[in-house]
Structure 1
């Protein structure tokens, strides 16, 4: 296998992986922005110290804030799922699958995670989020089993 971005399989993985990494990093920034906007949702007692960014600390700032907690839950869900995609996706492309299948699987996972984010961010029902999570989970399972079978056959 050609380990360069000239290889369409590796380039497909690189695009999908980069989008997912940027999504996880973006969630951190979104959480910070939301905490600034809400002037709360902080987690640690030291966050109540008077600073340039928090000139008027208030004990209520470390109480749960639903607007911040929603972003925190989305971020936690990403941290529980996307690292597995990064590993499983790389192992999957090492099996040299057909390019059409790699596009379908890798970009399908990305789409499921972005749609899951949109559903969670806009407070859609658990059923909607669960359906989108299930698509991503099934894709992870498929890639992992595909890679396992290929590795055992090698």
Structure 2
């Protein structure tokens, strides 16, 4: 476990990539809030229809689907399905003491594919475009986990 410190450039690379992904993931929550406010729609819970200073004129349509809000929620759901695996696989991979250039390529490659996937999803690109951007990131996670297994055996 002596690889898990910021003086180790491989761990520092992972820390940078992971921190960027954490910030991106948290930003999705804020983007959801911004969309809820700007559309005055897309609420999920019946209690959200109570009259408050932030919702002075509640109406039942606010609980209906809203594509602008739901798109952000789907992007966030995709992050929640992928980022935890990256965090775990990446951290385990650091313990294998890989070459720095390879770790940088994999960790930063994952970040780039996730950010590109976000742009594609946000701009309503078709499934093939999104899948083409999602696939390399998923393959990177598999490679990280596989390399860890090989090193452990």
Distance in 1 between the 2:141 and 2:110 partners? 8
Distance in 1 between the 2:107 and 2:10 partners? 10
Deviation, structure 1 residue 3? 2.9
The residue aligned with 1:132 is: 133
Matches within 5 A, 1:3-14: 3-14=4-15
Deviation, structure 1 residue 62? 0.6
Distance in 1 between the 2:16 and 2:69 partners? 29
- What SS does the corresponding residue of 1:123 show, helix, strand or coil? coil
TM-score by length of 2: 0.97
8 Å contact kept, 2:42–2:63: yes
- Specify which structure has the bigger relative contact order, considering alpha-carbon pairs within 8 angstroms and separated by 6 or more residues: 2
TM-score by length of 1: 0.97
Distance in 1 between the 2:59 and 2:53 partners? 14
Count of matched residue positions in the alignment of Structure 1 and Structure 2: 152
Matches within 5 A, 1:1-154: 1-152=2-153
Segments of 5+ residues of structure 1 without an aligned counterpart are none
